[in-house]
Amino acid sequence: MVQEIEKHLREKLIPFWEKLADWQYGGFYGYMGYDLKVNQQAEKGVILNSRILWFFSNAFLTLGDPDLLKYADHAFVFLRDFCVDGKYGGVYWSLTYDGKPLDETKHTYNQAFAVYALSSYYAAGKKAEALELAYDLYERIESCCRDKGGYGEAFDREFRPMSNEKLSENGVMAARTMNTLLHVFEAYTELYRVSRRETVADQMREILDVFEKKVYYPEKRRQEVFFDKDWNSLIDLHSYGHDIETSWLLDRGCQVLGDQTYQEKMGPVIEALAEEIYERAYRNHSIMNECENGIDQTDRVWWVQAEAVVGFINAWERMPKKTYFLEGAKDIWNYICQVILDKREGSEWYWRVDEIGKPIEGEPIVEPWKCPYHNGRMCMEVIRRRDALKRG
């Protein structure tokens, strides 16, 4: 499994994303349709470009190929020179193909991914300006996106609150979301890992407290997803993909934090989330997408499968007697190879397939949310856990 996944990273994912570098205007092209045609004048999502910076930085750290650092450098220059708002701070939501601000929304989720990417790039390239920018964005999140109850979501260019259409779904308008909180925590985990700034560690602890007390629903062994400002859940929704992703990201954060109290406190949450997904959402060699009001949405989404591989391996490492987690991870990887992987020349992974494995035609291969973050990270996490997997 490890050799297959490393080969997939080297021979499929990395070459695909290298070819999307825009050497004329900077960054990476923002759209490839289902027909595999690249729109070189499509908007460039800052989330996409942050995730690409994260991808090439970590690919270099994982594989050691200096060419990968060149692509990370290219992504960093675009983020630094075009995506950051020099007047009001923070990063924009999206740019035009030639680097002009297009959507000036300042979203907490977007700021977090820039922090995440810049922190990893600092680890790879050792450029102090990357860490300085990451910390500046961290302070922007803390000063402009946070209130007494937690983190807000969407803001205008000057960080005045606005409605949260970008991270609200399923017919609700959320003032707070599990998804944004998770990725702020993920970003702070990486920032703390490379900087060891205790202020960041303090915020990580506060976020863990919120997950335990406000987000996690112990009776149902799941997280709630969308909330009002007072953390009241707005909808009966179980996001299978986010729960398995959360299980291992919280575990990683606790490991990086190195705080025994939080490791013990969060352990039952981490393990329960993984066990519930295995029991409830793992069907037909893959993970269903979500469940709303008791009704499963049965399409298989690319990123959910990637996160399930990592989440199940992580659960097995925590609970080695439960070997069904490791077998499940291997089974889902085989499903990815057979069904999710687009075998057409010049493509990558399908966005999603239906319950019987037929690709949903028309879904793009690349767009502002479709990136090498989940599947690339899956590959690198499996490689990182090589020794444990050999023992298994």
Which tokens belong to 377?
């990270």
Residue 114 in this model has a pLDDT that exceeds 80 = yes
Model confidence at 362, pLDDT cuts 50, 70, 90, reads: very high
The total number of residues written for the chain in this structure? 392
Q: pTM, whole model, 2 decimals?
A: 0.97
Q: How far is CA 327 from the centre of its chain?
A: 24
Assess whether pLDDT exceeds 80 at residue 392: no
What is residue 45's predicted lDDT score, i.e. its pLDDT? 98
Q: Summarize pLDDT for 256-272 with one digit per residue, the tens.
A: 999 999 999 999 999 99
Judged by DSSP in three states, 365 sits in coil
pLDDT in the model for residue 316: 97
Q: What is the DSSP string of 134-184?
A: HHHHHHHHHHHSEETTEE--EE-TT--B---GGG--TT---SEEHHHHHHH
Summarised one tens digit per residue, pLDDT across range 88-98 is 999 999 999 99
pLDDT band at 387 (very low <50, low <70, confident <90, very high): confident
Confidence band of 351 (pLDDT split at 50, 70, 90): very high
Give the confidence band of 122 by pLDDT, cuts at 50, 70, 90.
very high
Q: Is the pLDDT of residue 235 over 90?
A: yes
- Please report, rounded to a whole number, the percentage of residues in the chain having pLDDT higher than 90: 98
Average pLDDT over residues 14-36: 98
Q: What is the pLDDT of residue 108?
A: 98
Query: If you average pLDDT over residues 201-205, what whole number do you get?
Result: 98
Type and span of the H or E element at 316: helix 302-318
For the segment 15-24, what is each residue's pLDDT rounded down to a tens digit?
Answer: 999 999 999 9
pLDDT in tens, 272-319: 999 999 999 999 999 999 999 999 999 999 999 999 999 999 999 999
Judge whether residue 134 has pLDDT over 80: yes
Q: Report the topology of domain 2-79+177-391.
A: Glycosyltransferase (1.50.10)
Q: Name the band, by pLDDT with cuts 50, 70 and 90, for residue 390.
A: confident
Does an H or E element contain 94, and which? strand 94-95
Q: Minimal CA–CA distance to 102: which of 44, 159, 154?
A: 44
What mean pLDDT is reported for the chain?
97
d(CA 198, CA 312): 31
What is the C-alpha separation between 300 and 184, in angstroms, rounded?
26
Q: What are phi and psi of 181, to 5 degrees?
A: -60, -40
69: closest CA among 78, 58, 80, 79? 58
For residue 388, the model assigns a pLDDT of 87
